[in-house]
Structure 1
Amino acid sequence: MGNLRTQLLRRRPAAELVAETGVDSDTGELSRTLGVFQLSMIGVGATIGTGIFFVLSEAVPKAGPAVVWSFVLAAVVAGLTAVCYAELASAVPVSGSAYTYAYTTLGELAAMVVAACLLLEYGVSASAVAVGWSQYLNQLLDNVFGVRIPQALAAAPEAGGWVNVPAVVLVALCALLLVRGTAESARANAAMVLVKLAVLVLFVVVGVRGWNADHLAHFAPYGVAGIYGAAGVIFFSFVGLDNVATAGEEVKNPRRTMPLAIMIALAVVTLVYVAVALVAVAAQERSKFDGQEAGLAAILQDIVGSTWPGTVLAAGAIISIFSVTLTALYSQTRILFAMSRDGLLPPVFRRVNPRTLTPVRNTVIVASAAAVLAGFLPIEFLAEMTSIGTLVAFIVVSIGVVVLRRTEPDLPRGFRVPGYPVTPMLSVLGCLVIITSLRPVTILAAVLWTGAALVWYFAWSIRHSRLARERR
């Protein structure tokens, strides 16, 4: 029993892992091509997805115009976690994100559980947002050309179709970009992020024309409880900042670049969200938000008296979904790469193409699985599976900061959590509070998925683990 406990708690020392991956010497298996701007755009691109285009229809009925404070509250909780990620990313700047941080602080079993949660977050979320792509693509095609993709080829069987072809095509396009190389993918992502930021800025600039102070008169009609309730809905619009931490081995000067990129991404996302929310609630009476479809487009159309805002925002949503799918697939492949290097998965996920320095087979496997999910499952089922994995990863990262401060206090850190140890504890508390608001079926699904991952661990990984081989 004691030997099993030792196996489950065995850790990879952070200093050893950093030295092995060539963080301080710019040598390693992956190519270091990402700078501050490109890495920040990965964080922004992964975070600003479809959520901001629709979340107001759910959040405003709960909080009224005070939804602006709900965004701020959600940003604070996300910020507490972001600074924890920033410290660990600067101390252990390697691929794997929360999985690697768990391995270096809490041990192998905890790392496997976190890996399962991250695979749920990135893999399923990539499929979920890809499913929504066909809806916006149809809206754009209808507005511009007056044609639509037939329902049979634009929806999953349970949604009245045969297969969601646009979703499969989107995943394939993202995979092709990732196979070509990290630098090319990062440049394409940065361009797409700038476009969707421009669309949201357009909403703010045009929406200000409809500003009506009377709409803000009863600012918090549902009190603090309404603000808190809406923050729980809004929080998941901030999920994605952790994607930055998956790129540790492809970043130039990672100890400085990674925490800086996380902070920049958080600031940009918060500023955009608060500005969009404030303009939206000032331009439209709160009663109209409940159940409103394509809310941002509807607000602009009422202000300008034309349908062109719907076309522009549909194009922005298409680009936004492409960017989110790209970064989610990228993060998924890097988690699997790190797990394969540690011996918890077969070697195929670690093999890197000598020309592009990207894990091509890994990318093809991930994209194939995501394409099947996106093509044949409805978005409602996929979306429900993503939230809990993210929150568990956030909790582990916050605890990891405390553990690593104790176990390896002399490890170089390019950034330190302000207000330690209160800040990481507040982050854990904030995530636990939000978990309690999730539906029981979501929690049950996550438990079953984690159980399947543990079966794999005890059947295969525990014997093939790199640490197990080194002990033998």
Structure 2
Amino acid sequence: MKMSRVRRRAGGWNISLFEERGGTDRRPLSPLHLRITFLTGRCENHLMADGYTRSGGLSAGTAVAFAVGNMVGAGVFVLSGLMVQTAGPAAVLSYLLCGILVAFTGLSYAVLASICPGDGGGYLYAHHMLGPYPGFLAGWGMYISVTIASAFVLLGLGIYANRLLGTAFDPRIAALVGLVLLTLLNLRSTAEAGRAEVALVAAKIVVLLLVAAVGVINLTPADFTPFFPHGTGAMLDGVAMVFFAYLGFQVVAMMGGEIKSSARVVPLATLASIGIVAVIYCGVEVALLAAHLPAYGDSSLFDAAVVFFGGWGGTIVAIGAIFSTLSAANANIIGGSRVILTMAAEKQIPGRFAALKGEQPANAVLLSAGVAAGLILLGNLGVIVDLTNTVALVSMGLVNISAVILTLGHRPVPGDRTYFRIPFGPLIPLVGAGSCILMLVTLPLPVLAAGGAALLAGTIFFVVEDTPEGERATAEIREFIEREER
């Protein structure tokens, strides 16, 4: 059986995306792989990491909708104007470069997702490739980032609702109402949540594409002059600013167990969602430049809509923003609950969080909603949002390292497995890991310290002994999963 890494062949590189291998041949394990199996306590000679899969009812289109819905939120409705303020016309390049950097990590997710299908995403990959504790750090980092993000965008829902209705209510009221509704939706059915996500994403994309199209029509070459009004350094600072806006692509891998043919769909949905969102972001930035606003800030998209469409333009964007925040929060709640479910089922955190009600991880959904509610009540998420980038970069870095080990460690895949292949061996995941490290070292020391504290706090869950009730819950979830797999 040939290895999953790409090999140099006569006539060029073999860069086919999916390939099936058969046979029973096993190559000798590399010293690196022997070291990995020693650290993880496993002596397997091939990767048999199916993860936790249940109904597998979500289609490829729904998977893309979840990822796009998770990414297209505050990153476009609020951050787009701030980006023009920071980098000028070069903001378009900032979004594009950041999308390319994230795509390197997306390729690491793609190859690992095709070999390790199931709920959990980065946690599942790091757990099987690096060991239990690195896997825990990857999963906990993802969970913290998506939970903070759901609270952040729901507070945005309250702000946009006030603009639409002309009211001045506390934004936390609308945020909590939205959280309750989304929680009830996710307790009912993943399929129903998926249908709602597709509808919400479609609505906001129509609004954004309409604004972008009118902006492109009105664009002139002079709108890009000067391209670097604040220097190339401002453009690079912008790359770090918009990183948060791309994090949502992870949600597809987090809920892989819910997706039909996840080994094939998750990689393609991950890469497709990054590409779609990059086009939307760049299109909106072009529209803002074409609007010739006197000043740019967090409400510039509203102002641009008024310029292009008149008084009702702001109403359209406000409605689109409400759809955007709801869909992003919905995707975050689902993704976070799936990570907690998988970690609890594998005894990485107390087993009571693995309990299912029907086919839904009710306790995991309620945990995610409870944490988000607490953050919403705090109201001021300025410092906490900075933590998102820190913990997310740690998590994504571990996923990239897992992909590097997969390619350098010569770990074969099962003979009947269809897997995603990336070209040039470990080069792409190495670039992905390097970009994560580079962005980490540019963060302020207090933020890095706070992020480390958040990861350390989660370690308490990792080391604490479970209760008898939790042990019973873990046994029940494992029995349920085994029945579903049969």
Superposition TM-score tier, normalisation by shorter sequence: 0.7 to 0.9
Once the two structures are superposed, the pairs formed by residues 137-156 of structure 1 within 5 Å of their partners are: 137-142=161-166, 148-150=167-169, 154-155=170-171
C-alpha displacement at 1:129, in angstroms? Answer: 1.4
Change (3 A) 1:366 1:192: same
| Residues 79 and 298 in structure 2, CA contact (< 8 A), matched pair in contact too | no
| Pick aligned residue for 2:224 from 216, 231, 242 | 216
Could you say which residue in structure 2 is the equivalent of 1:298? 303
| Residues 85 and 245 in structure 1, CA contact (< 8 A), matched pair in contact too | yes
Counterpart Cα distance in 1 of 2:391 and 2:292? 35
Change (3 A) 1:237 1:42: same
Matched letter for residue 191 of structure 2:
A
| Residues 216 and 282 in structure 1, CA contact (< 8 A), matched pair in contact too | no
Matched letter for residue 392 of structure 1:
V
Could you say which residue in structure 2 is the equivalent of 1:395? 397
Could you say which residue in structure 2 is the equivalent of 1:364? 366
Could you say which residue in structure 2 is the equivalent of 1:325? 329
Per-residue deviation, residues 272-292 of structure 1 (Å, max 9, x unmatched): 11111123223326x622xx2
| Residues 63 and 221 in structure 1, CA contact (< 8 A), matched pair in contact too | yes
Once the two structures are superposed, the pairs formed by residues 408-419 of structure 1 within 5 Å of their partners are: 408-411=411-414, 412-419=417-424
C-alpha displacement at 1:125, in angstroms? Answer: 1.4
Could you say which residue in structure 1 is the equivalent of 2:439? 434
Structure 1 alignment gaps of length 5 or more: 22-27, 143-147, 156-163, 467-472
Could you say which residue in structure 1 is the equivalent of 2:15? none
| Residues 126 and 399 in structure 2, CA contact (< 8 A), matched pair in contact too | yes
Could you say which residue in structure 1 is the equivalent of 2:5? none
Q: More displaced, 186-195 or 375-384?
A: 375-384
C-alpha displacement at 1:396, in angstroms? Answer: 0.9
Could you say which residue in structure 2 is the equivalent of 1:470? none
Per-residue deviation, residues 194-243 of structure 1 (Å, max 9, x unmatched): 11101101111233454343222212234432322211112221111011
C-alpha displacement at 1:8, in angstroms? Answer: 7.1
C-alpha displacement at 1:308, in angstroms? Answer: 1.2
| Residues 99 and 275 in structure 2, CA contact (< 8 A), matched pair in contact too | no
Could you say which residue in structure 1 is the equivalent of 2:214? 206
| Residues 47 and 412 in structure 2, CA contact (< 8 A), matched pair in contact too | no
Once the two structures are superposed, the pairs formed by residues 41-60 of structure 1 within 5 Å of their partners are: 41-60=65-84
| Residues 212 and 283 in structure 1, CA contact (< 8 A), matched pair in contact too | no
Could you say which residue in structure 2 is the equivalent of 1:158? none
Counterpart Cα distance in 2 of 1:256 and 1:49? 27
2:332 corresponds to 1:308: no
Q: Secondary structure at the match of 1:221?
A: coil
Counterpart Cα distance in 1 of 2:454 and 2:357? 31
C-alpha displacement at 1:332, in angstroms? Answer: 0.9
Q: More displaced, 131-140 or 207-216?
A: 207-216
Counterpart Cα distance in 2 of 1:230 and 1:221? 13
| Residues 391 and 431 in structure 1, CA contact (< 8 A), matched pair in contact too | yes
Could you say which residue in structure 2 is the equivalent of 1:115? 139
Once the two structures are superposed, the pairs formed by residues 58-457 of structure 1 within 5 Å of their partners are: 58-142=82-166, 148-150=167-169, 154-155=170-171, 164-208=172-216, 210-284=218-292, 288-289=295-296, 292-304=297-309, 306-354=310-358, 357-405=359-407, 406=409, 408-411=411-414, 412-457=417-462
C-alpha displacement at 1:297, in angstroms? Answer: 1.4
Could you say which residue in structure 2 is the equivalent of 1:24? none
Structure 1 length as normaliser, TM-score? 0.86
Counterpart Cα distance in 1 of 2:301 and 2:72? 15
Matched letter for residue 429 of structure 1:
G
Per-residue deviation, residues 281-331 of structure 1 (Å, max 9, x unmatched): 23326x622xx2310111232344x22111111111111111111111111
Counterpart Cα distance in 2 of 1:408 and 1:315? 49
C-alpha displacement at 1:7, in angstroms? Answer: 9.9
C-alpha displacement at 1:76, in angstroms? Answer: 0.7
Counterpart Cα distance in 1 of 2:218 and 2:65? 31
C-alpha displacement at 1:373, in angstroms? Answer: 1.9
Counterpart Cα distance in 1 of 2:43 and 2:368? 26
Q: Secondary structure at the match of 1:386?
A: helix
Q: Secondary structure at the match of 2:177?
A: helix
Q: More displaced, 340-349 or 209-218?
A: 209-218
Counterpart Cα distance in 1 of 2:467 and 2:435? 33
Structure 2 length as normaliser, TM-score? 0.83
Counterpart Cα distance in 1 of 2:67 and 2:201? 10
Change (3 A) 1:369 1:226: closer
Q: Secondary structure at the match of 1:302?
A: helix
Structure 2 alignment gaps of length 5 or more: 1-35, 475-486
Q: Secondary structure at the match of 1:17?
A: coil
Counterpart Cα distance in 2 of 1:277 and 1:461? 50
Change (3 A) 1:47 1:11: farther
Counterpart Cα distance in 1 of 2:66 and 2:132? 28
Could you say which residue in structure 2 is the equivalent of 1:34? 58
C-alpha displacement at 1:6, in angstroms? Answer: 9.7
Matched letter for residue 460 of structure 1:
E
C-alpha displacement at 1:149, in angstroms? Answer: 4.8
RMSD of aligned alpha carbons: 2.6
| Residues 344 and 461 in structure 1, CA contact (< 8 A), matched pair in contact too | no
Counterpart Cα distance in 1 of 2:456 and 2:315? 44
C-alpha displacement at 1:335, in angstroms? Answer: 0.6
Counterpart Cα distance in 2 of 1:233 and 1:52? 12
Q: More displaced, 455-464 or 104-113?
A: 455-464
Per-residue deviation, residues 157-187 of structure 1 (Å, max 9, x unmatched): xxxxxxx221111111111111111111011
| Residues 133 and 167 in structure 1, CA contact (< 8 A), matched pair in contact too | yes
